[in-house]
Chains A and B, each alone.
Chain A
Amino acid sequence: MSTDVAHEEHHHGPPKGIGRWLFSTNHKDIGTMYLTFALTMLFVGGASAMYIRAELFMPGIQFMEPDFYNNMVTNHALIMVFAVVMPAAAGLANWMIPMMIGAPDMALPRLNNLSFWLLPAAAVMLILSTIVPFMPGTGTAVNTGWTLYPPLSIQAGMGMDFVIFTVHILGVSSILASINIVVTILNMRAPGMTLFKMPMFCWAWLFTGLLLIIIAPVLAGGVTMLLFDRHFGTSFFDAAGGGDPVLFQHLFWFFGHPEVYVLLLPSIGVIAMIIPTFSRKPLFGYKSLVGGMAVLFTLGLVAWAHHQYTVGMAAGPTTWFMIITILISIPVGLMLLNFMMTMWRGAMTFETPMLFAVSIVLMFSFAGVTGIMLAVVPADLEYHDSMFVVAHFHYALIPGALLGLFAAAFYWLPKWTGNMYDERLGKIFFWWNVIAFNLTFFPQHFYGLAGMPRRIVDYNPAFADLNMLSSIAAFAYGISHLLFLYIVIKTVKGGVKAGNKPWEGAQVGTTGLEWDLSSPPPFHSYATPPVVK
Chain B
Amino acid sequence: MKLKLKIWKQKNQTAEGKFHDYNVEADEHMSFLEMLDVLNEGLLENQQEPVAFDHDCREGICGTCSLVINGRPHGPMQGTTACQLHMRHFKDGDTITIEPWRANAFPIVKDLVTDRSAFDRIIQSGGFVSVNTGQAMDGNAIPIEKDVAGEAFEAATCIGCGACVAACPNGSAMLFTSAKINHLDLLPQGKVESSKRVVKMVEKMDEEGFGNCSNVGACHVECPKEIKLENIARMNRKYFAAKLSAK
Partners in one complex: no
Binding site for B on A (CB under 8 A): none
